[in-house]
């Protein structure tokens, strides 16, 4: 596809003779056209008799051939385990920070609770030893 100013807006990156990469263009906030990634396409043209003799399934249903479609990767799976859901929603660095802050808060709360429970006992022992 050629633009008005004769610049090539559609470039194909050929990997082999069956498929090719097509750039996906869109306008940014300033209104300039920029590439946002590539989509890999494969177009097969065949006679109707060949298509009837070699059926393929819809989407990933059987028979899943020509081309074989792999299951999607990186999808979320629902779990009642909050640690597993947190692991899916956050990246490793943010998850590590969240775990560290949670441990620090737990230790502080446990320390304050321990001091609240043991403070009177320690104060009573100190007072009894002074008398």
- How does pLDDT run across 11-49, given as a tens digit for each residue? 445 556 778 888 999 998 898 999 989 988 878 788 989
Q: Report the distance separating Cα 82 and Cα 115, nearest Å.
A: 30
**pLDDT of 110-122, one tens digit each?**
999 999 999 889 8
- C-alpha span between 48 and 54 (Å, rounded): 10
Q: Is the pLDDT of residue 107 over 90?
A: yes
Question: 92's torsion region: left (phi>0), alpha (psi -120 to 50) or beta?
Answer: alpha
pLDDT digits (tens, 9 = 90+) for 56-83: 777 777 887 777 778 877 778 888 998 8
Question: Cα separation of 46 and 63, whole Å?
Answer: 18
Domain ranges of the chain: 1-60, 82-131
């Amino acid at each position: 596809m050629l633009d008005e100013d004769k610049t090539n807006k559609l470039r194909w990156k050929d990997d082999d003779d069956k498929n090719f990469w097509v750039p996906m263009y869109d306008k940014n906030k300033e209104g300039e056209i920029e590439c946002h990634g590539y989509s890999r396409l494969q177009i097969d043209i065949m006679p109707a008799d060949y298509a009837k003799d070699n059926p393929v399934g819809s989407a990933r249903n059987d028979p899943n051939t020509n081309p074989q479609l792999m299951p999607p990767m990186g999808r979320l799976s629902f779990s009642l385990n909050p640690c597993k859901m947190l692991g899916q929603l956050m990246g490793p660095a943010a998850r590590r920070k969240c775990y560290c802050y949670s441990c620090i808060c737990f230790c502080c709360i446990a320390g304050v609770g321990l001091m609240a429970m043991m403070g009177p006992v320690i104060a009573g022992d100190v007072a009894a030893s002074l008398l």
